[in-house]
Structure 1
């Protein structure tokens, strides 16, 4: 009886070994990336890395079959205005074909400089150079839109508070308000051959060059341009 079952047991071992071999081959295919596509993606990413950054690694998820079928893949950034560090969405066209062959999920790792607060920054503070520090570390771990250069925020006004050593985000800063809502302002009206100055009340917040609503001393609702601290200009 024992000999009767030996072929079946041997067959089971062979089947299991064949399935393991298939799994290994499939795993190898999933990990492999065409060299042409890798080179094109790297050529797209590298020039857009932040200054003084050091690229560590670019990982590409398994491309779709339509992308693999391209003889000359042409990758492009789906969101060119966004950072190329961290998770990056890349579209791929085939040369000679205007349609999109598919999309890639790419993970870019890099070490570079980024800006942190040297001291506590309160909401409403105008940022000065001595309030900032430069640190170096993995950029892909930072939130999207992080400040990488001090000049991105120097002279701007903080929209929220930051503790000492906190990484900064560009969207938390705005141009400094020279006029604030409900503030008394000087309204200067200019026209052909005349200039009139009168008092008024701003109805909006405004930075240099922006347009705000103002209620003049005689009760008229006007739109005027911010030209200085508590100063508005109305042109006729």
Structure 2
């Protein structure tokens, strides 16, 4: 008969065990706290940018996919400066005093705000006036990417295609009212510090304010000028 000896597992003193657990928890949460600080900075940056569209803003910032060292002196920026801060947004963050390290985070931004829609069906070629629009309120991030958020941007412009009643307006659906028509006699101005010269010509294409149009003069000379008014254009010197 073999004697079996059973030994009880050794235990660390209670104080030492508590200290080890505290240290383990501290180390485990240290990267998370660094990520949290970075995400909080991005959240504040996006909130400031999105407030222009409305006061009710909901932002979700996704944490970095990899564990990285803490980002010192974070400087968030939009990777696409012309893109409105709505829906899915990519944010870059420069880290360090000189901003040499750059990280990228993804976020979802929702804003409850007002936007214009067609009050009734609008036919192509119709000039957009205030009585053709009405205001609705909703989540702006759910609108089409090119949705117009300020009716002032489309007032006076012309519908390029039929617009259904109740539909949000999009930038590509409207265009500037033509101030110059093809074949129209136009005046082309050239102006300097102490002189102003005008010539009469023929527009070879239509154009709205600020658009570039080719003009032919009687001597067959061709120039490209900028539309500045009804049948008026200007050339750069």
- Normalised by the length of structure 1, the TM-score is 0.70
> Does 2:143 align with 1:142?
yes
Residue 184 of structure 1 corresponds to which residue in structure 2?
Answer: 184
The runs of 5 or more residues in structure 1 that have no matched partner are 1-28
> Does 2:134 align with 1:102?
no
Residue 40 of structure 1 corresponds to which residue in structure 2?
Answer: 41
Deviation at 1:91, TM superposition (A): 1.0
Give the secondary-structure state (helix, strand or coil) at the position aligned to 2:38. helix
- Distance 1:179-1:75 versus aligned 2 partners, 3 A rule: same
Alignment of 1:162-177 (within 5 A): 162-177=163-178
Deviations 1:131-181 (A, max 9, x none): 111111111111123111111111222333311111112243332211122
Deviates more, 1:163-172 or 1:63-72: 63-72
Give the secondary-structure state (helix, strand or coil) at the position aligned to 1:201. strand
Count matched residues.
Answer: 203
Give the secondary-structure state (helix, strand or coil) at the position aligned to 1:65. coil
8 A contact 2:93–2:102 mirrored in 1 = yes
Residue 55 of structure 2 corresponds to which residue in structure 1?
Answer: 53
Residue 70 of structure 2 corresponds to which residue in structure 1?
Answer: 69
8 A contact 2:119–2:134 mirrored in 1 = yes
Give the secondary-structure state (helix, strand or coil) at the position aligned to 1:39. helix
Deviation at 1:113, TM superposition (A): 1.0
Deviation at 1:97, TM superposition (A): 4.9
Give the secondary-structure state (helix, strand or coil) at the position aligned to 1:165. coil
CA distance in 1, matches of 2:75, 2:235: 52
CA distance in 1, matches of 2:195, 2:71: 69
Alignment of 1:79-94 (within 5 A): 79-94=80-95
Deviation at 1:222, TM superposition (A): 4.0
Deviations 1:24-70 (A, max 9, x none): xxxxx9xx7843123211210112223433113x2222304355532
Deviation at 1:217, TM superposition (A): 4.8
8 A contact 2:75–2:99 mirrored in 1 = no
Deviations 1:184-228 (A, max 9, x none): 324467899998775x53212222354422234564434445343
CA distance in 2, matches of 1:70, 1:96: 10
> Does 2:150 align with 1:159?
no
Deviation at 1:122, TM superposition (A): 2.8
* More helix, by proportion: 1
8 A contact 2:53–2:111 mirrored in 1 = no
8 A contact 1:67–1:92 mirrored in 2 = no
Give the secondary-structure state (helix, strand or coil) at the position aligned to 1:92. strand
Deviates more, 1:93-102 or 1:138-147: 93-102
CA distance in 1, matches of 2:229, 2:97: 55
